Structure 1
């Protein structure tokens, strides 16, 4: 059920032999993202449960879920970029149906992240799901 943008990431990851290369790719994806404006880095957009500073700003337009995000940690910015490709542009009603754990496992992310990063990733996914559910 993943979007084409996420399928493209999966395809790119298939050509990378080890986690270090994948890690670098995730970081590069994060570096390529537009930074979240400072005006949106407020307590209401901050994601609790992350070791790093993380902000997610959802937007719903015509029943479609969009969000932007940022972090002070490069790898976390990259994880936000991956989540953007997984969720951004979906109908709001489909966001809760995405099995993020299974989709991210296709990238090998679940095994390669530290426990702290995994907890932060879960917190980001939960925030996305909650925001979509509240908008639905």
Structure 2
């Protein structure tokens, strides 16, 4: 499925949930971030995720801090990579991002902070130094 088809199917709520596991989340973020500014991507991604979660009957799955923090990490990784990097090359260059939340955000957030109700409901700043 092309990137355009993937994003369109997600936004139209026709993408099967089985096609939207962790790699699908990262792919959609990468598509948005390679096509629009970070603020625009954050707005569209969060809105689309909320709609998708509601569509599959799991509105409580949306986690604001993870969503925005992941987008910021992916945006930084895109900026650090070569111009016009392919999706395949991005994945290969960023195995921590592809491995999941703990691998990508664990250096910034403790499990306790990310697991809090406050972090789910609204963005919270990291409690660890990235160093």
TM-score under structure 2 length normalisation:
0.37
**Larger RCO: Structure 1 or Structure 2 (Cα < 8 Å, ≥ 6 residues apart)?**
1
Structure that is richer in strand per residue: 1
TM-score under structure 1 length normalisation:
0.36
